Structure 1
Amino acid sequence: MTAPAPYGTWPSPIDAATAAAHDGSPEYVGVVGDEVWWTAPRPAEAGRRALIRRHADGTEECPLPAPWNVRSRVIEYGGTPWAGAIVDDSPLIVFVHHPDQRLYVFRPDRPEQAPRPLTPVSAVGGGLRWADLAVHPEHGEVWAVLEEFTGDGPSDCRRVPAAVPLDGSAAEDRSAVRELAVETHRFVTGPRLSPDGRHAAWIAWDHPYMPWDGTELRVAEVSAGVFGPARTVIGGPEESVTQVDWAPDGTLLAATDRTGWWNLHRVDPGTGEAVNLCPREEEFGNALWKLGHRWFRPLDNGLIAVLHGVGALRLGLLDPATGEVVDTSGPWTEWNPTLAAVGRRVIGVAASARTSYEIVELDAGTGHARVVGNAHHDTVDPAYLPDARHRVFTGPGGREVHAHVYPPGNPAATGDGPAPYVVWVHGGPTSRAGMVLDLEIAYFTSRGIGVAEVNYGGSTGYGRAYRNRLREQWGVVDVEDCAAVAEGLVAEGAADPARLAIRGGSAGGWTSAAALTSTSTYACGTVIYPILDLYGWSPAGGETHDFESHYLETLVGPLDKVPERYHDRSPVHHGDRISVPFILLQGLDDVICPPVQCDRFLAAVAGRGIPHAYLTFEGESHGFRRLDTMVTSLEAELSLYGQVFGFTPAGVPHLELTT
């Protein structure tokens, strides 16, 4: 039986610790022999990424105990941090250890042998880093992307495909690392070797382009593991090749958006002729934020496992001869960009609005899919989970704005009239919020606060034209689209116009701060590890990492041509415009969105009488990973909403706001 109660005060079994303990999802699934391996978050273990092994009999173990942390820092967002192969009838695993970024090798079936380093430590700048690994026992090497710092600045670095000997001879000797290709581009992915070992293919791009703007597919002949001169086969400034791989029959496959959508193409490595295998206004790829993301996997039977769709991607089997796609049945509605395959088995990571991310195996012969790892278990009564709905709102000029709406809901309580709502803004900004079970969202909805996740113009999943809406319009289109969703919910009578909030992290923090300093839509805001000063985030300001240092040239425009935009759109220059309470949450080890930007913004707001709080966290970088950090952040956010919206959340520490 439900009872009337003020929004925000509904009793909920989902506390901050429960929500934080289930943050994150499995990543980087792979197959070693008959075993499935992947990385998994461990918030309670200082936020490390554990490596999980699923034996052929279905049992799971974590063969690398704490403090081993399998995570790469290449381009700061990382990439595939492990790889394995069967060598002498047992698994051999190579992985990146996050604290020192060295490659290590270990034999999980030989526990008496501790992991040993394969690469040296460099004292220069950010050192040596590795990602997008592939073990090649036939060459006695692991191939990867090498990111090597040449100085102390964030852009004093170079990246090349490289080979590291498995015998450990490079552990203290940088000269023993073999560079596979001449350094010709600023960014590269790991090389994919053709089945006959005679060709390698990879993706490359340069500033000022991001990998979703323009990339090149590079191919080189290979002889005894040695690369010949590389050449560009397809791609360019207005074509994004986001994944490349070889089919077992030697066919070169690439996901490219030359049609306006990331479609899967067969590419002739000699002529560059590209044939669209399934022409659809759907995505068969997405933004390459991490090196090694995979949206397709060729199978031995000639079919291709693909993730495809508009917005949410689903798993299907593509017959390249007919262009027909047969989708997998099952409850999963969102799939992560990681696929592995062996024989007719396809393994991926999938979730739904009611289930957390699971390791799912598809039998491509029977079409049967089943959960084989990280199985979802209800940690709370599902009655307290929100009823998620995909919605399309109307933005300025009649444009479509995609969003996921999570109305407040609780089996034991009900509210009266329009509810308070928080607009959640995803990061990127060239990214997308998926409609999956998120206990952080349920933390709020189960208490009577609605959530609306906005996939504003610029988000991925809806074609290149939708992404390009944000070109030179960052801080405009994203702010307008978020407001359109909030105002749409108000017009429907679902949301209270006096109790709207906005929150986001990274690029979402930028949009949140930009909205608070340019609109009167929101009564408060939560700004998490944000970008606040465009000039500081530009190459001239030098306050961010190399990967995104030129990102603003497309998002805002070239600094030398439109310097006024960098000033006029930056929240740091408009502290006088903010009139509502806010909190800033910042990791002190963040090199992507550094704390100095928050310091600058707070100085601009100081003395104006605006209630606010600034919480900083030692040991946290970009994206919070530690349990205690996430608990503190969630409780602080709820306390802010209570103080602004007029309720007292039970069992939550009172957040002190200063003026």
Structure 2
Amino acid sequence: MVKIASYGTWTSPISAGDTSKPGGGFQWADLHGEQVWWAESRPAQGGRVALVRDGVEVLPAPWNARNRVHEYGGRPFVVLAPDRVAFTHWDDQRVYVFDPDSPEPKPLTEEPGRHHGVRYSDLSAGPDGEVWCVRESVTGDARTDVRRDLVAITRSGEVRVLGASHHFMTGPKISPDGTRFAWIGWNHPQMPWDGTELCVAEVGSDTHEVVSGSATEAVCQFEWEGDSLLALTDPDGWWNLFRVSPDGTRTNLAPCEEELGGPMWRLGNRWFATLSPGRYLVVRSGQLAVLDERSATVTDVQTDLPTWVPDLSVRDGVVVCAAAGPTSDFAVVRLDLSNGELTYLTGGEESPEAAYLPVPVERMFGEIPAYVYAPSNPDFAGPEGELPPYVVHVHGGPTGRALPKLDSDIAYLTSRGIGVVAVNYGGSTGYGRAFRERLREQWGVVDVQDCAFVAQQLAAEGTADPKRLGIRGGSAGGWTSAASLTSTDVYRCGMVAFPILDLAGWTSQGGETHDFESRYVEGLVGTLPEAADRYRDRSPSTKARQVSGPVLLLQGLEDEICPPEQADRFAADLAGSGIPHAYLRFAGEQHGFRMAENIKAALEAELSFYGQAFGFVPAGVPVLDLSE
């Protein structure tokens, strides 16, 4: 029998502990012969990343297959032969090699002179059993004191520099004939979705040639095809697949106003893979599709899973990848494209909580795409005449996007009667360069306005309670949440996780972020000193006491991307203001939380926070202590 109870007070079998299961942490799936390899996060084991072969863990604790190049990391392993695998280990960032059937990996590179002083990423197989990759070296004490080289690591552990064309580079890939190698490079102030260059050099040469890309064209992936290159790039404003011939001719294999690529936040993503000559598997804005060069078409592959990660691995018409659906978390799957047979290599079981999971509804609010997750619980309904509270979920990046997949955090809230809307504000990816560049010099304006417009529209149409609107986000989403609370009166409260709060500090001059994003703000807000007023006026740090309602701050203490200094100062400014707030700091956490106990504590605190702000008492969670 359905019970009538106020929104937010519903009970649910979806617990905060469910959100820390490893379902969202399957990554870097790869095929090697008949073997399927992947990396798998383990929140219950301190957030370490295990290496798995055919469903069997081959890299047990305490080994942690993860690296911190650009702080976001990249492809952490490469299978060199059935009996030889190379991987990066988080604790010391060295490259190790091991036989999965033997007990102990052996270090391939030397121990750095300082903690995490030398890092490796985007591993690939070179000639003679070598590992080819990017090496990142710390050269000083500032967060931006970093240089990068393309290197080859021999079987004996000798490291040979292949080249260093740009400040940032992807791992090098050798041509099939072994005479040339290629990579992608870019320099500040460009980010890799602004402009990159696809470079080719003769093995052993000190010079290279740029064959595609520019300061305003972004190549995001390439692969060798004989003596030509296949490249995802966007000269016409959309990431399409091109062939770059040895004579420099570029051919768009299927011109379309569709995004077949994406932002290169991590090194080693694969948005496309070759099926056969002239046929390619692509990830089109999260959806699996086949590009046919002869007909110049891109056709969706019909599956029950609408969201595929850009990590395609293909062999003989079979694709292995991680995929998810609206009511199913990410799983590693094998799809036979010849007959459509889908096999789950992880997960796949019907969730006992399936009836409590919200199904996202894609909507357009004017020109703003969003996914609406209505309160969903078969055991409860709200009282007649009561509208549910709604929380705007702001994705990170800001060059990122929301996708129609299961989000356990969102399900935790909706199953208790709190609606969520995930907004793809101007600047989000998946809608072409022009939409992405709506945010250029407008960060803190366009994103804030778009999110507020969606929230107000939901209230105006009678979907959400206009007096109980909230906002939540982490990283760049934390920025938009804080900027919204300090520049609009739309929201009753907001959750702000590991945020950017002070624009001037979050620059190379301010020293409060890492090298990769240290000049990101120049494109998002403007250059200094010309835009100094903009930096000051938009920063939530300058107006903490102007927030429109209660604030929950969450911060990892080992975060190098959004270090705790900014959240510390913001919390200090709130102290004694009379504004209800809480600041939870998590030891051992970096950017985003990986440990099960911290994931659980943060989500339970957020639910209690909403209860106090929106005027209900949630069941079964500790009461968060709010200070004023």
> TM bucket by the smaller chain?
over 0.9
Q: Once the two structures are superposed, what CA deviation does each residue of 1:277-335 show, in whole Å capped at 9, x if it has no partner?
A: 11111011000000011101123554211111xxx422222222332334322101011
Partner of 1:102: 94
Please say if 1:294 is aligned against 2:294: no
State the one-letter code of the partner of 1:149.
V
Match of residue 63, structure 1, among 58, 70, 75: 58
Q: Could you say what secondary structure the match of 1:536 adopts? A: coil
Mapped partners of 1:369, 1:572: distance in 2:
53
**Residues 1:118 and 2:108 are matched in the alignment:** yes
Alignment partner of 1:537 is 2:506: yes
Whether the 8 Å CA contact 2:373–2:419 is kept in 1: the answer is: yes
* Deviation of 1:371 (Å): 2.2
Contact 2:195/2:217 (8 A) holds in 1: yes
Match of 1:373 in 2: 345
Q: Which of 21-30 and 60-69 deviates more?
A: 21-30
Displacement of 1:368: 2.1
Change (3 A) 1:40 1:227: farther
Give the structure 2 partner of residue 81 of structure 1. Answer: 76
Contact 1:37 1:51 in 2 (8 A): yes
Residues 189 and 291, structure 1, Cα contact 8 Å, conserved in 2: yes
AA at the equivalent of 2:230: L
- Confirm or deny: 8 A CA contact 1:330 1:369 kept in the other structure: no
Partner of 2:184: 203
Mapping of 1:100-179 within 5 angstroms? 100-109=92-101, 111-112=102-103, 114-124=104-114, 126-136=116-126, 138-167=127-156, 170=157, 176-179=158-161
Q: CA deviation at 1:235?
A: 1.1
Q: What secondary structure does 1:431 align onto? A: coil
Contact 1:208–1:551 (8 Å) recurs in 2: yes
1-structure distance, mates of 2:335, 2:258: 22
Shift of 1:19: 2.2
1:10 correspondence with 2:10? yes
Q: Which moved more, 1:510-519 or 1:644-653?
A: 644-653
**CA shift for structure 1 position 52:** 1.1
The question of 1:594 aligning with 2:563 is answered: yes
Task: Indicate the SS of the match to 2:135.
Answer: strand
1:39-81: CA deviations, max 9, x gaps?
Answer: 1111111111111111xxxxx2001111111111000000100
Distance in 2 between the 1:636 and 1:345 partners? 44
**Counterpart for residue 636 of structure 1:** 605
Alignment partners' CA distance in 1, 2:434 and 2:200: 29
Please give the secondary structure, in 1, of the residue aligned with 2:328.
coil
After TM superposition, give the deviation of residue 91 of structure 1 in Å.
2.9
The CA distance in 1 between the partners of 2:545 and 2:206, in whole Å, is 59
Whole-angstrom distance in 2 between the partners of 1:37 and 1:286: 23
How far has the Cα of 1:375 moved from its partner? 2.7
Letter in 2 for 1:360: V
Kept after mapping to 2: 8 A contact 1:125/1:149: no
Of residues 448, 452, 455, the one that matches 1:483 is: 452
Q: Report the equivalent of 2:360.
A: 388
Matched with 1:57 is none
Ranges in structure 2 where 5+ consecutive residues have no aligned partner: none
Distance 1:517 1:44 in 2: 36
Aligned partner (choices 234, 238, 243) of residue 266 of structure 1: 243
Render the CA deviation track for 1:494-548: whole Å, top value 9, x for unaligned: 1001111101000000000000101111111100000000010011101100000
Residue of structure 2 equivalent to 1:363: 336
Indicate conservation of the 8 Å contact 2:218/2:233, yes or no.
Answer: yes
Q: Distance in 1 between matches of 2:519 and 2:246?
A: 30
Match of 2:618 among 649, 652, 657: 649
> Following TM superposition, by how much is the alpha carbon of 1:238 offset from its aligned partner in structure 2, in angstroms?
0.7
Distance 2:407 2:115 in 1: 37
- Counterparts in 2 of 1:208-357, with a 5 A limit? 208-222=189-203, 226-227=204-205, 229-247=207-225, 249-271=226-248, 273-308=249-284, 312-357=285-330
Residues 517/155 of structure 1: CA separation in 2 closer, same or farther (3 Å cut):
same
Change (3 A) 1:161 1:46: same
Indicate yes or no: 2:541 matched with 1:560: no
Q: For residue 139 of structure 1, report the CA deviation from its aligned partner.
A: 2.2
Aligned residue identity for 2:600: V
Q: Distance in 2 between matches of 1:343 and 1:607?
A: 65
Over the matched positions of the two proteins, sequence identity in percent amounts to 52
One-letter identity of the residue aligned with 1:116? K
| Counterpart position of 1:173 | none
The one-letter amino acid of 1:623's match is: G
Asked if 1:92 corresponds to 2:84, the answer is yes
Shift, 1:3, TM fit: 1.8
Q: Which deviations, in whole Å up to 9, do the C-alpha atoms of 1:173-229 show, x marking residues without a partner? A: xxx310111x2310000112222222211100000000000000101123xxx3452
Q: Distance in 2 between matches of 1:369 and 1:329?
A: 11
Provide, for residues 354-411 of structure 1, a one-character-per-residue CA deviation record: whole Å limited to 9, x for no partner: 11112222334x14241241132234321101121011112xxxxx111110000111
Q: 1:502 aligns with which of 467, 471, 495?
A: 471
CA distance in 1, matches of 2:66, 2:503: 29
- Any conservation in 1 of the 2:474–2:499 contact (CA below 8 Å)? yes
Mapped partners of 1:458, 1:530: distance in 2: 18
SS in 2 for 1:526: strand
Q: Does 1:408 align with 2:381?
A: no
What amino acid is the match of 1:177? V
Task: Return the alpha-carbon distance in structure 2 between the equivalents of residues 344 and 401 of structure 1.
Answer: 37
Offset, 1:20 = 2.3
Task: State which drifts further: 139-148 or 284-293.
Answer: 139-148
Q: Which amino acid aligns with 1:392?
A: M
Deviations 1:127-149 (A, max 9, x none): 1111110123x423100011111
CA distance in 2 between partners of 1:150 and 1:645 (Å):
49
5+ long unaligned stretches in structure 1: 55-59, 171-175, 395-399
TM-score normalised by the chain length of structure 2 = 0.97
1:493 alignment partner AA: G
CA-atom RMSD, angstroms?
1.4
Q: Which amino acid aligns with 1:438?
A: D
Alignment TM-score, normalising by the size of structure 1: 0.93
Kindly indicate whether the alpha-carbon contact (under 8 Å) linking 2:2 and 2:379 is maintained by their aligned counterparts in 1: yes
Q: Which residue of 1 aligns with 2:48?
A: 48
3-state secondary structure, aligned to 2:468: strand
Count matched residues.
626
Q: Which amino acid aligns with 2:370?
A: A
Per the alignment, do residues 299 and 504 of structure 1 end up closer, same or farther by CA in structure 2, a change over 3 Å counting? same
Question: Aligned partners of 1:412, 1:304: CA distance in 2, in Å?
Answer: 46
Aligned AA (1:259): D
Does structure 1 retain, via aligned residues, the 8 Å contact 2:174–2:181? Answer: yes
Distance in 2, matches of 1:546 and 1:377, equals 42
SS at match of 2:254: coil
How far, CA to CA, are the matches of 1:372 and 1:107 in structure 2?
26
Q: Which moved more, 1:404-413 or 1:334-343?
A: 334-343
Name the amino acid aligned to 1:208: P
Structure 1: which amino acid aligns with 2:290? L
Distance in 2, matches of 1:22 and 1:640, equals 26
Is the contact made by 2:67 and 2:120 (CA closer than 8 Å) also made in structure 1?
yes
Query: Distance in 2 between the 1:334 and 1:131 partners?
Result: 26
Letter in 1 for 2:89: H
